[in-house]
Amino acid sequence: MLADRAGLPRFPYHPDPLATGSVVAAEVVCACCRQRRPFTYVGPVYAVEELARVLCPWCIANGQAASMFDAQFTDADWRVPEDVPADVTEVVLRRTPGFDGWQQEQWLHHCGDAAEFHGCVGAGELAAFPEAVEHLRSDLTGHGWPADQVEWYLQALSKDGQPTAYLFRCRHCGTHLAYSDST
């Protein structure tokens, strides 16, 4: 398995789970592989068993945790575009670290594929990604928000607090996308 600089497995849809906070550099004896590992997955686990902070990222990447516990790391409750193959959704839900959303998490898609998750962002971070701001703006406007309220909300977005936005990047064209819990 390919590994990045931190020695973590490579997650095509969540390239830096240390940066997003879904994986932390804390030792764990993994409930799946039973090995002592230097990194712990701290994101959500959807399974019958209580599995908070007991899994290593390797067992997520190779699918062992998903099959042993019939677990998902993201709750599937969004509309996947028709051009996205089912095995992509399988990887997103069962072999990719999830993240804690304030409400129901979503996974954004672009170019017929799931996008990479890049973590929570606020107005300051979003300034570098005008296309993501435009995506949020059209989302909010589409929900019937008046323009001044949309602009106020976009300025109020915070990386560490609420409201926040979740940033994604297309793996094919590089476009940045974002959504926020408010909608």
Under a CB-based contact definition with an 8 Å cutoff, are residues 25 and 17 in contact? no
Q: Could you give the string, one character per residue 103-142, with x where binding to Zn ion holds by CB under 5 A and - elsewhere?
A: -------xx-------------------------------
**Is 23 an interacting residue with respect to Zn ion (CB under 5 A)?**
no
For Zn ion, the closer CB: 153 or 166: 166
How is residue 120 annotated by DSSP?
E
For Zn ion, the closer CB: 14 or 110: 110
Span interacting with Zn ion, options 17-25, 73-81, 158-166, 171-179, rule CB under 5 A:
171-179
Q: CB-based contacts of 41: which residues, under 8 Å, 6+ apart?
A: 17, 22, 23, 53, 55, 56, 57, 60, 73, 97
Identify each DSSP E strand in 27-163 by its residue range: 28-29, 36-37, 40-41, 109-110, 113-114, 116-121
Position among 8, 23, 28, 32 found at the interface with Zn ion (CB under 5 A): 32
**Is 173 an interacting residue with respect to Zn ion (CB under 5 A)?**
yes
Q: Which of 95, 110, 182, 170 is nearest to 140 (CA)?
A: 182
Q: Could you give the string, one character per residue 52-71, with x where binding to Zn ion holds by CB under 5 A and - elsewhere?
A: ----x--x------------
**C-alpha distances out from residue 27 to 30, 42, 181, Å:** 9, 12, 32
**Is 1 an interacting residue with respect to Zn ion (CB under 5 A)?**
no
**Is 28 an interacting residue with respect to Zn ion (CB under 5 A)?**
no
Phi, psi of 167 (to 5 degrees): -100, 135
Minimal distance in Å, beta carbon 111 to Zn ion? 3
For Zn ion, the closer CB: 41 or 99: 41
Interface residues with Zn ion (CB under 5 A) are 30, 32-33, 56, 59, 110-111, 170, 172-173, 175
